[in-house]
Chains A and B, each alone.
Chain A
């Protein structure tokens, strides 16, 4: 069930009405949200609802056992280790089994052992990377005593709650469980902001991202050999805008939908293409994942506490694994390695830059960071490493003679970039104005805005890019 569809609209109307009708009983309200979330997930493939429930039960049981172990640190360590390992094993089976078996078979063949390994086609459950990370963060936070042990209903709802279930943001137990403990309030400001985020997200996904994808980016990436260097270059910019508008739209709608039910989700994007360095980019892009990687991978690997060498290793390893989190393919490994390598190089440059040299002007930093990020998105978008290399070779060929980009495509790319330089509090200011409107006027404006967006959307809506992760 995709957010920008009528099926989801009807589903949400029923959930919204039911959840607020049940505000007299927080427990029944949460049960409705939980069952609704399973229905939402089961719409895609009912078989995996059992996996989602089992994962929630397992993480709840491990968290409770850690909490029950009191001061027995050995037992607590053992339990957290087992819990994390089991979560990673489930993720590994569904997401990486095929990839690693293929690599093993290729390695054996290279060594002269011609054996067919039993490679099964494992279906990847939507959102497994997100809800597994959520489960891991819960049990680690209980182990670190940063969050309290959650009840069964709260824990299963935390992992299954439909607005964030399939593509984040990764909402931590310490953030959402306290909100589940009482019936939430819905203020006018919160509702106005939520509606703006939903409408804005719809526009970014169904107009900017979908139009760019179908009209320009997909055809160019499908057959790069038939395109000019100018087209390849513009399609790389187009994909940078598309992936931002696609993913940030999902987040905006998830935040807005949760807010209409009374819950607050964290910030996940902050104008990432205005970052003046790669470190800055990762503070602005998919914030809930980058802070997860920092807290549960980079810092446990040593972080900045053991000298510069260890810091660079921790950075590289974190980004490499962060790349692999996105998918079982060498392209994601290369993408992560490039980001990790440049982050480490940036840190070395910061420490060893000759003092007499002036720092990089901010505008140049933004330009360089954007181009590095856009270039690495090519690995992200291409199906194979060879395809990505061929794409770069096409750009380097230097054929700047023609382009198939339309004026509309150019306007959408420019608009996607311009969004990064608008005032950061623009939506908030608009929400403050909107909350003063009478409900009828605000409703009519919302309806006509959705109507206008619907007139511009292509037939059907492609799934969000991050659904595949």
Chain B
């Protein structure tokens, strides 16, 4: 006969089971569609404004029959978004960051 299952004592359960994504006291709103739309929109924003990162990733792929179209496509996409001025915001922010990195305390 199998011995009865005993649940863990409360202290252990509480400490190891609490999750940052728990919202126990609120009525749950179904979120799958909402989340999928967020993921799709964020992906689109990144594709449009950060094509340089896509090109950088593609350029590191090992050349081969499967990857070459992806590499060529990433290059074309980057050129198109750059021509449309979409890479401007990220380049501007990168410039500000480089200035912050280059700043030094005044030497006595």
Contact = CB atoms under 8 A, between A and B. Distances in A.
Contact of B104 (A288, A406, A447): A406
Contacts of A267: 18-20
Given A67-B2, A443-B37, A13 B43 contact: yes
A266 B18 contact: yes
B105 to A, nearest CB: 6
Interface in A207-261: 211, 215, 252, 255-256, 259-260
A127 to B, nearest CB: 19
Contacts of B32: 20, 186
Interface size class of B (residues with CB under 8 A): 35 or more
A196 B2 CA distance: 45
A456 B53 CA distance: 13
A172 B16 contact: yes
A444 B41 contact: yes
A144 B85 CA distance: 63
B42 to A, nearest CB: 4
A354 interface: no
A185 B33 CA distance: 12
Contacts of B23: 187, 189-190, 193, 428, 431
Interface in B73-92: 89-91
Interface in A368-418: 403, 405-408
A20 B6 contact: no
Contacts of B15: 287, 291
Interface in A1-50: 5-7, 13, 16, 20
Contacts of A260: 35, 39
Interface string B6-36: 1110001101111111110010111111111
20 contacts: A20-B36, A70-B1, A186-B35, A187-B29, A187-B31, A189-B29, A190-B31, A191-B38, A259-B21, A260-B35, A260-B39, A267-B19, A287-B15, A288-B16, A407-B100, A407-B103, A407-B105, A443-B41, A447-B41, A447-B45
Interface of B: 1-8, 12-13, 15-23, 26, 28-46, 49-50, 53-54, 57, 89-91, 93-94, 97, 100-101, 103-105
Interface of A: 5-7, 13, 16, 20, 67-68, 70-71, 141, 144-148, 172, 174-175, 185-195, 197, 211, 215, 252, 255-256, 259-260, 264-267, 287-288, 291, 295, 403, 405-408, 427-428, 431, 435, 439-440, 442-444, 446-448, 450-452, 454-456
